Amino acid sequence: MSDLVCVGAIAGAFGVRGEVRLKSFTSDPGAIADYAPLVTEKADKSFDVTITRPIKNGLAARLSGIATKEQADALKGTRLYAPRERLPALPDDEFYHTDLIGLTVLDTGGTELGRVRAIHDHGAGDILEVMGPRGETLVPFTREAVPTVDLTAGRIVADIAEDAE
């Protein structure tokens, strides 16, 4: 498990006064500012975050040290990370996506299906993208389809239909 957890991404400038369009990956989008200062992936830049208002598909925010539209545009696509210790502890049945990426996925008979490559959320719930010897398998991340997640052992047990791929 990484010491840094991705909590958001910058989608570009918002307006002409240095605000950014911020996409929050936190359960409460506005809470992203509570975990500041946020750092870039290489931890070469750090930003305090002030949410100015909600906007379509995200938040408008001010980042420390960013004062112009050009500076804000230059950050487009930058992912923002918070140290794990600043994030709240989760209940036993909830997980940070970053902790699931790379876990081995087994079917209920113990056959390896592959590893979690990504987690997608299209609004109806999370879907695990598992890449294995038979190619890509999409698994709904529900209690029924995924009865076991064992972070310590680095494995997930998925109860999926035989013809799912």
Give the pLDDT confidence score for residue 162 in this predicted structure: 58
Are the C-beta atoms of 104 and 153 separated by less than 8 Å? no
The model's pTM: 0.75
> Of 86, 109, 140, which closes a domain?
86
pLDDT value of residue 160: 83
Q: What total of structural domains would you count in the chain?
A: 2
Q: What is the pLDDT of residue 164?
A: 47
Tens-level pLDDT at each residue, the chain (165 residues) = 468 889 999 999 999 999 999 999 888 899 999 999 999 988 899 999 999 999 998 999 999 999 999 999 999 999 999 998 998 888 888 888 888 999 999 999 999 999 999 998 777 788 999 999 889 999 999 999 999 999 989 999 999 865 544
The residue range of the domain holding 59 is: 4-86
Which DSSP string corresponds to 129-140?
EEEETTEEEEEE
For residues 11 and 71, membership in a common domain is answered with yes
Does residue 49 lie in a domain region?
yes
Rounded Cα–Cα distance for residues 114 and 55 (Å): 38
Query: What are 44's two structure tokens?
Result: 């070469």
Q: Would residue 107 count as lying in a domain? A: yes
The answer to whether position 77 is within a domain reads yes
Which pLDDT score, from 0 to 100, does residue 26 have? 87
Query: What CATH number did the domain enclosing 20 receive?
Result: 2.40.30.60
- The DSSP-derived string for 66-108 is --SHHHHHHTTT-EEEEEGGGSPPPPTT---HHHHTT-EEEET
Q: Could you give the count of Cα atoms lying within 13 Å of 22 in the half-sphere of its Cβ?
A: 30
Smallest Cα–Cα separation from 7: which of 102, 66, 88? 88
Structure confidence at residue 107 (pLDDT): 92
